[in-house]
A and B are shown apart, each in its own frame.
Chain A
Amino acid sequence: MLSADSDIELQLLIEAIYRKYHYDFRCYAPASLKRRVTAAMARLNCHSYSQLQHRVLHEPAAFPELLDHLTVPVSEMFRDPSYFHSLRAAVIPVLRTYPSLKVWVAGCGTGEEVYSLAILLREEGLLGRTLIYATDINPQTLQKAATGVYDVQRIPSFTENHRRSGARSSLSEYYTAAYGRAVFDKSLRKHIVFSDHSLATDSVFAEVQLVSCRNVLIYFNRDLQDRAIGLFRDALCRKGFLGIGSKESLRFSAHTDAFSDLIAADRIYQRRDPP
């Protein structure tokens, strides 16, 4: 099949998903979206994007399965320990000055980053006055995130990352391991609200002091990146903080002037006052 033809089919599939289910992948970065859809096609036993489109439109059960393939990013707790180290050093001292705190983890996936931040805030004595909004577009992923259950085989690397993030306690204080699974402490969960939210189609829902959105923007094209970064700017309070992935950048964004570098190496920015 000519690749131009399959590109048309892929665009039609994405359009069909948008019209029927209102999930908007039209502004996702095309190269990795194509890889994800192609991988999903094989798992759903389809031979072409058109066949997948047919199934998605006519079999209600097929869409959630496809959505899982399109959205689940693989993350880990305290990924890039130096990011969390810098949060402790440069952001936490400012957050301490607020009587109450709101944090937004955008595109939280299965929750690894959310629990990492909750643990960090507890270690710094701030979790008690914090509410963390954890949002994602995939309801199944959010459910999984809300359970706070991870394969126990992943714990050693989580523990090592946590240690390198400047830990003030042992990670083992925050989970119970049994039957091959590690269940994270329900008392962390009390400070987290998991909610369905799309950076592509929804708007700002709260004023927050910190937005953490790492390795989510890489899946967006530049228009959608601009939309998302605009939401973060509008959600952040005066001099609020934004953390993004270690290879993501505000350099190519329309909103680059809305932020100043705080810790450039760890991609932590601070909202500038509007002129």
Chain B
Amino acid sequence: MKGAALSGGRIDAVVIGASAGGIEALSVLLPALQPNMVVAFFVVLHVPRERPSLLVEIFQRRCALPVREPEDKEPVAPGTVYFSPPDYHMLVEKERRIALSADEPVHFSRPSIDVLFESAADAYAERLLGVILTGANQDGASGLEAIHRAGGVTVVQEPESALMPFMTLSALQRAPADHVLSLERIADLLRTLAGPVPASEAQSAPQ
């Protein structure tokens, strides 16, 4: 089922978690996104909390989709890339709004990848794709497991291609990954899965 449905229309959202080396990895993934993409992207990147986040500024220049830090209870807009604001957890509610929290750090991290992934798994169930990228922290492993349990698609960057493989290895130990890929192949997968429903499929849909 999962393999058969690897085309546009399969998912509504993509969650991405990265830590050490994450800016470089996202610099490969986010510029690959295309303006016609119809899913929402949520990104948690661990950054030092005392520094104001320049991530939106950095990535808006390289990404065809709008990139923003959400406000609390903002409705999720398809085709938007949301970066968690520094020093807040970012969660998704079932009513498809973004919620923030200042609860204690998880795995020494706020924002935490687990917090995003677990809430998104609840909100989107099987219509979610989760990606774990480079990092030296085990944040994200239990979140990816939650996505797997909810029937979503799990993707992990090939550990040997990650600047810091620990996070990808922790995720692979914890949850079965549907795809273990290089950054370039993850970008290909996102282009396929996050794009519009192919015309052939839309036409052959049951009346």
A189 CB-CB contact with B under 8 Å: no
Cβ contacts under 8 Å, A225 to chain B: 73
* With A30-B93, A31-B119, A32-B89 as contacts: A218 and B74 at CB distance below 8 Å: no
Which B residue's beta carbon lies closest to that of A7?
B122
A222 CB-CB contact with B under 8 Å: yes
Please tell me if the beta carbons of A31 and B99 are within 8 angstroms of each other in the complex. yes
Determine, out of A165-173, A201-209, A246-254, the stretch whose residues face the partner at the interface. A246-254
Query: What are 26 contact pairs spanning A and B, CB under 8 A?
Result: A29-B93, A29-B99, A30-B94, A31-B93, A31-B99, A31-B119, A31-B122, A32-B89, A32-B99, A34-B119, A35-B115, A35-B119, A73-B102, A73-B103, A74-B104, A215-B102, A218-B99, A222-B73, A247-B70, A247-B72, A247-B85, A247-B88, A247-B100, A248-B71, A252-B73, A252-B74
Please tell me if the beta carbons of A249 and B103 are within 8 angstroms of each other in the complex. no
B129 CB-CB contact with A under 8 Å: no
* With A30-B93, A31-B92 as contacts: A249 and B71 at CB distance below 8 Å: yes
- From B69, B102, B150, name the one whose CB has the most chain A CB atoms within 10 angstroms: B102
Interface residues of B in 106-134 (CB under 8 A from A): 115, 118-119, 122-123, 125
Which B residue's beta carbon lies closest to that of A250?
B71
Cβ contacts under 8 Å, B101 to chain A: 29, 32, 35, 218-219
Which A residue's beta carbon lies closest to that of B69?
A247
Taking the nearest CB of chain A, how far is it from the CB of B48, in angstroms? Answer: 13
Cβ contacts under 8 Å, A73 to chain B: 102-103
Question: When A and B form their complex, which 7 residue pairs have the shortest distance between CB atoms, in order from nearest?
Answer: A31-B91, A31-B119, A32-B101, A249-B71, A215-B102, A218-B72, A29-B99
How many A-B pairs have beta carbons closer than 8 Å: the answer is 71
Interface size on A, residues (CB 8 A): 24
Bound: A226/B70 CA distance, A: 19
Please tell me if the beta carbons of A217 and B94 are within 8 angstroms of each other in the complex. no
Please tell me if the beta carbons of B150 and A218 are within 8 angstroms of each other in the complex. no
A36 CB-CB contact with B under 8 Å: yes
A187 CB-CB contact with B under 8 Å: no
Cβ contacts under 8 Å, B93 to chain A: 29-31
Please tell me if the beta carbons of A251 and B92 are within 8 angstroms of each other in the complex. no
* With A3-B150, A31-B123, A32-B103 as contacts: A249 and B115 at CB distance below 8 Å: no
Interface residues of A in 247-275 (CB under 8 A from B): 247-249, 251-252
A75 CB-CB contact with B under 8 Å: yes
Cβ contacts under 8 Å, A74 to chain B: 102-104
Bound: A218/B123 CA distance, A: 18
Please tell me if the beta carbons of A249 and B72 are within 8 angstroms of each other in the complex. yes
Cβ contacts under 8 Å, B125 to chain A: 3
Cβ contacts under 8 Å, A30 to chain B: 93-94
Which A residue's beta carbon lies closest to that of B93?
A31
Please tell me if the beta carbons of B99 and A35 are within 8 angstroms of each other in the complex. no
B183-196 CB contact bits vs A (8 Å, 1 = yes)? 00000000000000
Bound: A246/B49 CA distance, A: 14
Cβ contacts under 8 Å, B122 to chain A: 3, 31, 34
Taking the nearest CB of chain A, how far is it from the CB of B123, in angstroms? Answer: 7
Taking the nearest CB of chain B, how far is it from the CB of A4, in angstroms? Answer: 10
Neighbour of A251 across the interface among B71, B91, B100, B150, CB < 8 A: B71
Taking the nearest CB of chain A, how far is it from the CB of B45, in angstroms? Answer: 16
Bound: A229/B122 CA distance, A: 28
Neighbour of B103 across the interface among A35, A246, A248, A252, CB < 8 A: A35
- From A3, A32, A247, name the one whose CB has the most chain B CB atoms within 10 angstroms: A247
Which B residue's beta carbon lies closest to that of A38?
B118
Interface residues of A in 54-84 (CB under 8 A from B): 73-75
Bound: A25/B123 CA distance, A: 20
Cβ contacts under 8 Å, A36 to chain B: 103
Taking the nearest CB of chain A, how far is it from the CB of B130, in angstroms? Answer: 16
Taking A245-B102, A247-B88 as given, write out 15 further A-B residue pairs in contact, using a Cβ cutoff of 8 Å, ordered by the A residue number: A29-B101, A31-B122, A32-B99, A32-B119, A35-B103, A74-B102, A217-B72, A218-B88, A218-B99, A218-B101, A225-B73, A247-B85, A247-B100, A248-B71, A248-B72
Which A residue's beta carbon lies closest to that of B149?
A3
Cβ contacts under 8 Å, B70 to chain A: 247
Taking the nearest CB of chain A, how far is it from the CB of B73, in angstroms? Answer: 5
